[in-house]
């Protein structure tokens, strides 16, 4: 079992309100990812669950028991830190065995569990080494092993992959996912990398300035962001935004600004009926923009001038000037385009997002 419930959690640091009224239910066996920019309170929330920070107000319970006052050691959790936090004076074996020794496990049981974890992580031949003799990836595995041997109810990960180089990070990400499928232990994972959040999480919590912005499955966040922040944070390259005014012409709604004039598709228009004459924020993902061709007839289109062409191999990123603003489009690698080209860009009508410019909430 490993169900974690956060009820009305607040945290103040010297008068700074770091975490604001967080309510969350993390289900048993779930892989929950906290994501957000630095200073958004995600790590603080994790540390409160771990018991490393006190809670200013609210309740944290694990499997129904409130753990607010419990010491970290009594919460039956294991944590993996960003800088690994391996004990430098101990061998890999002793690093992994330390938690079990502290809990007075039998020597034979300790041995069994350490070897088992080493086997899972493929670090069997490193057991007699010291942390400083290991590479970054190996250290990360040892840190994972130290958490696994304890068979805790909940794993807590604090940006565990951010000290690894890009290639290794992708590799360890896959291994973490496999590990979770194999062990089935509830995991709470903090990262600032939205790719990690999308790929690892069963559900993702997006935080900003101590406030939970949205909780949902990765695709739900991607397809239906609840506000402009989530829309801009999830997805890479980031969503394009344009401030437009809604007007009515011949019974259909038009969104326009200085460089843009598009007819809104019916489905979007429905939601904007009440906002004729007012400004809204239009959002469209780079991958939902295409170079207009015959097939896009009837799709909303606009003119753009290419400023930068970024070849990624599998796709091309076009930085385009649209009126006063810059938009990024991700197009097929076969598109023959070059800097300075004027072209007509089409957007997929069903993938248009609109946000309120004041509250930034999705409309």
Partner 1 sequence: MIEGARWRKWVFFYVPMALFLLFLLFPFYWMVITSVRPDGELYRPWNSINYNPFWTWKPTADHVRYLFEETLFASWLWNTTFIALASTAISLVCGVAAGYALSRLNFPFAGSLGTAIFITYLVPQTLLFIPLAEIIRNYRLGDTPWSLILTYPTFLIPFCTWIMMGYFKAVPKELEECARIDGASRWQAMLYIVIPVAIPGILSAGIFAFTLSWNEFIYALVFLSSPEQKTVPVGVTSELIRGDVFYWGPLMAGALLGSIPVAIAYSFFVEHYVAGLTGSVKG
| Residue ranges binding partner 1 (CB under 8 A) | 50-52, 71-73, 77-79, 81-89, 98-99, 102-103, 131-132, 139, 146, 150
Contact at 8 Å (CB) between 215 and 224? no
The least CB distance from residue 102 to partner 1, in Å, is 4
Q: How many CB atoms lie within 10 A of CB 192?
A: 18
Find the shortest distance in angstroms from Cβ 292 to partner 1: 53
- C-alpha torsion 248→249→250→251, nearest 10: -10
Nearer to partner 1, 146 or 169 (CB): 146
User: Which residue's CB is nearer to partner 1, number 74 or number 332?
Assistant: 74
* Residue linked to tokens 């079990």: 100
Supply the minimum distance, in Å, between the C-beta of residue 154 and partner 1.
11
338 vs 309: CA distance, rounded Å: 7
Select 151 or 224, whichever has its Cβ closest to partner 1: 151
**Identity of the residue, 117 or 239, whose beta carbon is nearer to partner 1 in the bound complex:** 117
Strands (E), 137-251: 154-158, 186-191, 203-208, 211-216, 240-249
* Nearer CB in complex with partner 1: 45/226: 45
Closest to 331 (Cα-Cα) out of 225, 255, 344: 344
- Cβ closest to partner 1, residue 44 vs residue 290: 44
Q: Which of 112, 189, 185, 196 is nearest to 154 (CA)?
A: 185
As measured in angstroms, the least distance from the Cβ of 70 to partner 1 is 12
Shortest reach from residue 233's CB to partner 1, in Å: 27
Task: Name the one residue in this structure whose structure tokens are 């990690």.
Answer: 196
Angle between helices 166-183 and 136-148 (to 10 degrees): 20
Rounded to the nearest whole angstrom, what is the least distance from the CB of residue 89 to partner 1 in the complex? Answer: 5
Owner of token pair 């993996």: 80
Residue 5 structure tokens: 């419930």
């Amino acid at each position: 079992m490993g169900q974690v419930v956060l009820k009305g959690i607040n945290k103040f640091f010297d008068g700074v309100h770091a975490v604001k009224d967080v309510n969350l239910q993390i289900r048993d066996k779930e892989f929950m990812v906290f994501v957000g920019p630095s200073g958004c309170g995600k790590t603080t929330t994790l540390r409160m669950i771990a018991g490393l920070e006190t809670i200013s107000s609210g309740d944290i319970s694990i499997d129904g028991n409130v753990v607010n006052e419990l010491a970290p050691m009594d919460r039956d959790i294991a944590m993996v830190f960003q800088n690994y936090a391996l004990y430098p004076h101990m061998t890999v074996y002793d690093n992994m065995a330390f938690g079990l020794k502290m809990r007075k496990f039998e020597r034979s049981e300790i041995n069994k569990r350490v070897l088992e974890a080493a086997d899972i992580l493929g670090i069997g031949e490193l057991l007699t080494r010291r942390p400083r003799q290991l590479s970054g990836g190996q250290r990360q595995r040892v840190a994972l092993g130290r958490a696994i041997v304890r068979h805790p109810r909940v794993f807590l990960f604090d940006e565990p992959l951010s000290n690894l180089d890009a290639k290794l990070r992708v590799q360890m990400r896959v291994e973490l996912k496999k590990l979770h499928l194999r062990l089935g232990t509830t995991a709470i994972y903090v990262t600032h990398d939205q790719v990690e959040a999308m790929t690892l999480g069963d559900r993702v919590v997006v935080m900003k300035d101590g406030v939970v912005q949205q909780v949902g499955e990765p695709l739900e966040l991607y397809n239906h962001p609840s506000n402009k922040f989530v829309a801009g944070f999830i997805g890479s390259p980031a969503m394009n935004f344009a401030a437009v005014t809604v007007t009515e012409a011949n019974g259909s709604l038009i969104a326009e600004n200085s460089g843009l004039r598009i007819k809104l598709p019916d489905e979007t228009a429905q939601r904007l009926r009440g906002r004729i004459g007012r400004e809204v924020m239009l959002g469209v993902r780079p991958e939902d923009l295409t170079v207009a061709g015959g097939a896009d007839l009837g799709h909303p289109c606009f003119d753009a001038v290419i400023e930068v062409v970024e070849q990624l191999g599998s796709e091309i990123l076009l930085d385009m000037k649209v009126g006063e603003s810059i938009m990024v489009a991700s197009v097929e690698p076969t598109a023959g385009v070059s800097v300075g080209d004027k072209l007509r860009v089409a957007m997929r009508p069903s993938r248009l997002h609109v946000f309120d410019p004041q509250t930034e909430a999705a409309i």
